Structure 1
Amino acid sequence: MAMNTLPLRHELKYFINERQYFVLSGVLDGILNRDPNGDEYNEYHIRSLYFDTVFNNAFYDKMNGVQNRDKYRIRIYNFSDKIIKMECKTKVGSLISKRSITIPKLLCEQLMAGDPTGLETTRSGLLNDVYREMTVNLLRPAVLVDYVREAYLHPAEEVRITFDKQLRTGLWSKDLFNPYVPTIPPFNENLMILEVKYNKSLPSYIRDILNTYCQGACASAISKYTWCRRFEFPGEEA
C-alpha cells in the first residue's frame, strides 16, 4: 500500500507513574467518553503476537530510528479467539497509520506456523503484504506482548487517549491463545504508558490537561515491542 494513501495520525507517547495515572485518568473520566469495549472498570486485556524478519528488521529499524517502517502483529482481546486481527502498524516520519483485518482462527494458526500459503490470492492488500514479507523476508512470530488498556475517546479529531498498564512479555513463547503462558514485566519499576492519538490537531483544552497533569513526563518514542524483546538483546535500550 502506497504511503501517500495511508490515513495518517499523530501519536504521542509518555511514560507515567501511578500518581500521574490516578490523577489524569480521574480527570479524563469526567470529560471524555469511555471506550465501549471496556469492562465496568473501563479496561480490557490485549495480547499481541508480533512478527519480525529473520534478520529482526522491525527491531533494528526501531532501535536505529528508521523513519518509515512497518510492524506486523496478530491481536486478540481478553484471551478470546472470537475476534482475531491481523494488523500492520506503519510509521511515516512522526505520523502513524494502522491497517487491520479480522481473520479466522484457522488462518491465524497457519500464520503462527509461518505458512503464507494462499495469501497471495486474497483480495486483502494487507494479507498480500504479509505473504510477500513471509516469502521474501521470512517474516515469523517473534514475541508475545500483554497489557491491560484503559481508553478514553473524544469525537473531535478522533482523539483517543489510552493508559497501557501491566505490560508483560511472553519472552520466547509464541502460544497466542494460552492464557497461562509465563510472562514477566520488561520494566524495572511500575511504569505505565500513556498514548495520545489524534488526526490533525489536538483540541487545546485536552492539550492543557495533559500539560497540567503530566508534568515531568516527556514524550518518548516508546515501543512495547522492543521493550518486550529486550531480554533477547542485552545491552540494547528500548
Structure 2
Amino acid sequence: MKKFRHELKYYINEHDYLTLRRKIGVVLKQDNNSINQQGYLIRSLYFDNIHDHDLFHKNNGILRRKKFRIRIYNHSDKVIKLEKKSRQGEYILKTSAEITKDEYFKILDWDYEFLKEKEQPIYKEFYHYLNSEYMRPRVIVDYVREAYIGHISNVRITFDKELSVVTDSIDLFNPNHTTQEVLVHPQMILEVKYDEFLPDYIRKLLQLDAHNRSAISKYVLCRMKSIEYHGS
C-alpha cells in the first residue's frame, strides 16, 4: 500500500545545481529513465474543473488538495500515465495507472465511459471528477528532470530544468506545439522526496539550510503564465 511521502522544494541557480549534482552523483545513482546525463523530458497535461478549484486551492494555501494529470516521457507514447497527486502540507501521495494512446484521445474527446469499467480506483475517481465537476484539460507543462535515487528511506533527489508551458495546444502529442519558458535560466527547481526520514549524509551534501525553501507548483506557475499569455 502506498503511503504519504515528504516533499521539499527549493529554487536554485546554476552554480548551486552544478555543485549539488556533483556531490549527489557520487553517492546516489541516476534514475534509469534518464536518456543522458541531463535526464529526461517530462510532459504533463493537467486537468482542473470549470471553477479552477485546484489552482485556487494552491494559491490560497489549502493544505489538503489534489491534482490530476496525464504524463508522458521523452515525447514517446510507449508509457502514458494517468496520475493523481494528493497533498497534505508537505506530505504527498502519488497514485498512477497506465492508459493507452487510444484511451488518451477518447478522454480528450469526452468519451470517458470506459474509465468506469477499469479496476483500479484512480480510473473511477478520475471518471467521477470528469463527470460531476466537468474537469477538463487546462495546460501542458514541460521540463527536463535529472533524478537521483537512494534505497535508504526511498530518497529521490531531482533537478527540474527548463520549465515551460505549451501555449497553443492541450494535446500531448501535437508535433507543432509552441512553448514558452516559465523559469528564466539559470533558475531551476530542486526537489527532495523521502519516506520516514532524510539520511543525514544526504542532508549535509545538499546543504538544505542554505537554500530558500518554497511552496512551488509547476502547474500553478505554468497555468498562470498561460493565463497571462492568453489574457484569460
TM-score if structure 2 supplies the norm length? 0.93
Residues 59-90 of structure 1 show CA distances to partners (whole Å, capped at 9, x for unaligned) of 00110111111100000000000100000000
2:69 aligned residue? 73
- Cα distance, 1:172–1:58 mapped onto 2, change above 3 Å: farther
Deviation at 1:114, TM superposition (A): 3.2
SS in 1 for 2:179: coil
Q: Give the Cα separation in 2 of the matches to 1:225 and 1:56.
A: 12
| Cα RMSD (Å) | 1.6
1:24 aligned residue? 20
- Cα distance, 1:180–1:22 mapped onto 2, change above 3 Å: farther
Q: Is the 8 A contact 1:116 1:130 kept in 2?
A: no
User: Greater shift after overlay, 33-42 or 52-61?
Assistant: 33-42
Map 1:8-47 to 2 at 5 A: 8-47=4-43
1:226 matched to 2:220: yes
- Cα distance, 1:194–1:81 mapped onto 2, change above 3 Å: same
1:173 to 169, 173, 181: 169
Map 1:78-227 to 2 at 5 A: 78-211=74-207, 215=210, 217-227=211-221
Q: Is the 8 A contact 2:146 2:160 kept in 1?
A: yes
Q: Is the 8 A contact 2:162 2:185 kept in 1?
A: no
Structure 2 residue ranges without an equivalent (≥5): none
Q: Give the Cα separation in 1 of the matches to 2:124 and 2:178.
A: 33
Deviation at 1:190, TM superposition (A): 3.0
1:62 to 54, 58, 61: 58
Q: Is the 8 A contact 2:139 2:226 kept in 1?
A: no
Deviation at 1:188, TM superposition (A): 4.4
Q: Give the Cα separation in 2 of the matches to 1:149 and 1:179.
A: 21
2:45 aligned residue? 49
1:223 maps to a residue whose letter is S
SS in 2 for 1:72: strand
Q: Is the 8 A contact 2:7 2:191 kept in 1?
A: yes
2:216 maps to a residue whose letter is I
1:159 maps to a residue whose letter is V
Residues 75-126 of structure 1 show CA distances to partners (whole Å, capped at 9, x for unaligned) of 0000000100000000023210000001111111111233321222221200
Q: Give the Cα separation in 2 of the matches to 1:183 and 1:208.
A: 37
- Cα distance, 1:150–1:232 mapped onto 2, change above 3 Å: closer
Q: Is the 8 A contact 1:142 1:172 kept in 2?
A: no
SS in 2 for 1:187: coil
SS in 2 for 1:194: strand
Q: Give the Cα separation in 1 of the matches to 2:226 and 2:35.
A: 34
